[in-house]
Structure 1
Amino acid sequence: MQTRRCQQCQSQLQGRVDKKFCSDQCRFLYNNQKKRSAEVTISNVNQVLRRNRTILKSFNPIGKTTIPKLY
């Protein structure tokens, strides 16, 4: 029979057969690391959008001007 290991710290698990983590702390750390990559992508997209809005606002302070397309 294989020994089961914690998905975060790789320590040996005891108890329930379907247990994945040795403690709540390991579970929190694992899930936070998993979410972090998605949050970085969202943060990068938001940064680009914020920069674009700033550029557009500098060209159009009143909000009613059209800007010619630059090639």
Structure 2
Amino acid sequence: MNRLTEKDDQGNWRLKGVRWEQLHEGQVITGELREKLYGALCKLMEYEDTGMDPEEVEEQMMRTFMGGGSL
């Protein structure tokens, strides 16, 4: 899975390739920024459509990788 977020050396996170300054009020949303935001929101929607919370996802992944279930 490709992550949509990244962290700097201090542990600050952001959407990969998007500086927080680009999201400040009054900033122009470029086509490239729009595509990144739309892509991240689509992934969030897909996750929410699973109906699973983060703990359930982790449990399912453990079962799958331990040879138990399927995703």
User: TM exceeds 0.5?
Assistant: no
Higher strand share: 2
Superposition TM-score, scaled by structure 2 size = 0.31
